[in-house]
Structure 1
């Protein structure tokens, strides 16, 4: 019986619509994006015999697993991500944007375990050119919760315990073969969403990324240079506006410090506009069963869906005004609560891409009337807007922050 053992570092951004994981096994690194949905099924739908190489290559698009874990309500068979949308259409379980708590839902646990197990099988096959019988994974894990949920008593601890309590058993179906994967989480660090992005603002090892982040900001303000912008970001007081699908996070940071007393958020994101636009898109374009996750992909990935992107965008432009006003009001309220003691308002997240056209000038106009116009806007460019949290969380592995927290917590647990 062939068994593989891996130590793996994982960063995950648990979006309402999309799940983004970055994993490292030794020197091997990969980013995985999947719709954050699953469907429960009785059996794996296999059609004919296919060579192992083809099954492994397509595994993440046809991911079917059995999961037995104390962290979920019931053991069972699940299609994960794209496979769930393909096999089950609208009959999928997904995060209800702005309503479900990530620390209480089964979806983040099921999908995280399923994706990690699937990627481990792919990695083992790439190394040995054969499908293993079993795999053991030891995981170091970093993720985040919305600010309002993070501040709830016991929320982050509940999420940590779900992953860290016991070993999770996953069986990955590769055609007619089954691979048993046991997953143990050595430590889990949970950050408030939005604040993690502060670690990704100044990346001195990736000057190209920093240049891209600051390109529009430098052009917008007279006399602004890249060095001056970096100094303001490193030392200034930043109001983060992280616009997601179901929530908008509004934390305030200075340097790497998070002001938890002033952290806030609202259960409004771009999903309100997406749901309204989706209803019209379904009716008028003849896609009655199109899922919200698939529609979101049309909006996010123009190169992947050139025939649908512009049409989908036309609908969202008509429906984005409602959440835009609520997000702008939340920014005003947060500025009022800190007496305008902010240097930069930094806007990012998937929703920022869709709201920029209507909100950028309105926000600049609002800020012009506060603190004698000294508060600046950094609207993160599209190509970085959706990865700010993941980029920041990933940095925690490499600046030794995670290791220090892990050592202290595990040492404390022994006493």
Structure 2
């Protein structure tokens, strides 16, 4: 493979307000959806391309050291950025999704820059793995790509198509700055599919993203145990009638009703709230009580709140208590939405699924209350409630998008 040869890929990306969840060919990455400007004097030390051991070590953990210059007609603010974990410790103000803003994901640069960066570094790492040197140029073609947008964005006329065009209509130039030789990546996308968030999640719950058959196994174990079922697979979701998916994200909560895996018309919506907004409010309250605590991004705050490494982890417990105080409003909104869907569907809901990175933040103190609400709404045959396990909840939309990408013609 010479410098100008082309690497072909099949990719899927769930660009969350809090974290990017990306699958490149068959390899997955999860990292914070943040970036920061690379200012003079803040650059990383360039690694000599002839120091093979150091290059190898850097590319083995490239997700922690992403430093790119992006030039693309799809990007409004082209420039040089640290992306992902390096942006949190760069010494300059991190650029995060503003979850309190009305700006949608389709208009933001953050998801695209984060995605272009991870694809470029992955391509470079595969090249180096095969040829043991750092090239000056790489061409990357994503032959099939699936991604998602919040439901209320995708319902706006033209947004789905215009977002796909941001990927497919241009060549995106990414320069990797970690080495003594700059690496120039020419990135392009051929076929692009944009799914509604939540709907993608149910696809990932029905079908196994690796084998493309009906999903089964550990992801349903909690459901099987709670309802004393002999078995449960993705095929049973297709037989459940109306399925209400509640995808709890950082800045939005997506509610989608599907029947046999297909969206039910006029029964899908988003609300502009999420655990990221709760976390930012919790940070403000925490720092008012403890002014000595330094400013932090919401991803760091949630990580500490959910850490709970041992019974004496006071820091984690205090952070979690502040977060729990803020999520009570979120829980009330979820309950009201469920009541609305119950009325609109005349009580005909066969299953409720709660997923997304925020589901596990709420589960510890919302599980029992939510179950009581459902049982009161459905006095005869209450629907099954599946809280998707932490291991799968954050990546369920990605699972569905991987299925979409693989079956794309």
How does the TM-score come out when normalised to structure 2? 0.89
Q: Matched residue of 1:320: which SS?
A: helix
Equivalence for 1:389: 397
Distance 1:49 1:396, change over 3 A: closer
Deviation at 1:101, TM superposition (A): 0.5
In structure 1, distance between residues paired with 2:212 and 2:190: 30
In structure 2, distance between residues paired with 1:40 and 1:80: 9
* Contact 2:248/2:357 (<8 A) preserved: yes
* Contact 2:206/2:235 (<8 A) preserved: no
Equivalence for 1:148: 152
Question: Any idea what the Cα deviations from partners look like across 1:15-65, whole Å, max 9, x if unmatched?
Answer: 1011111011xxxx2111121111223446133756322332343212111
Equivalence for 1:198: 202
**Aligned-pair Cα RMSD in Å:** 2.5
In structure 2, distance between residues paired with 1:207 and 1:113: 30
Deviation at 1:322, TM superposition (A): 1.7
In structure 2, distance between residues paired with 1:7 and 1:246: 33
Equivalence for 1:95: 97
Deviation at 1:196, TM superposition (A): 1.0
* Contact 2:149/2:196 (<8 A) preserved: yes
In structure 2, distance between residues paired with 1:190 and 1:15: 14
**Structure 1 regions of 5+ residues with no counterpart?**
404-415
**Do residues 357 (structure 1) and 364 (structure 2) align?**
yes
Equivalence for 1:344: 351
Deviation at 1:397, TM superposition (A): 3.0
**Do residues 180 (structure 1) and 188 (structure 2) align?**
no
Deviation at 1:281, TM superposition (A): 4.0
Deviation at 1:372, TM superposition (A): 3.0
Equivalence for 2:43: 45
Distance 1:54 1:214, change over 3 A: closer
Higher helix share: 1
Q: Matched residue of 2:189: which SS?
A: strand
* Contact 1:4/1:124 (<8 A) preserved: no
In structure 1, distance between residues paired with 2:300 and 2:403: 30
Distance 1:36 1:211, change over 3 A: same
Q: Matched residue of 2:268: which SS?
A: coil
In structure 2, distance between residues paired with 1:48 and 1:377: 52
Deviation at 1:378, TM superposition (A): 1.4
Number of positions where the alignment pairs a residue of Structure 1 with one of Structure 2: 393
Alignment of 1:108-187 (within 5 A): 108-139=111-142, 140-187=144-191
Distance 1:361 1:302, change over 3 A: closer
Distance 1:296 1:221, change over 3 A: same
Question: Any idea what the Cα deviations from partners look like across 1:369-410, whole Å, max 9, x if unmatched?
Answer: 334341221111221111111111111233x2x22xxxxxxx
Q: Matched residue of 1:263: which SS?
A: strand
1:289 is aligned, of 288, 292, 295, to 295
How does the TM-score come out when normalised to structure 1? 0.87
Equivalence for 1:32: 29
* Contact 1:172/1:179 (<8 A) preserved: yes
Deviation at 1:179, TM superposition (A): 0.2
**Structure 2 regions of 5+ residues with no counterpart?**
49-53
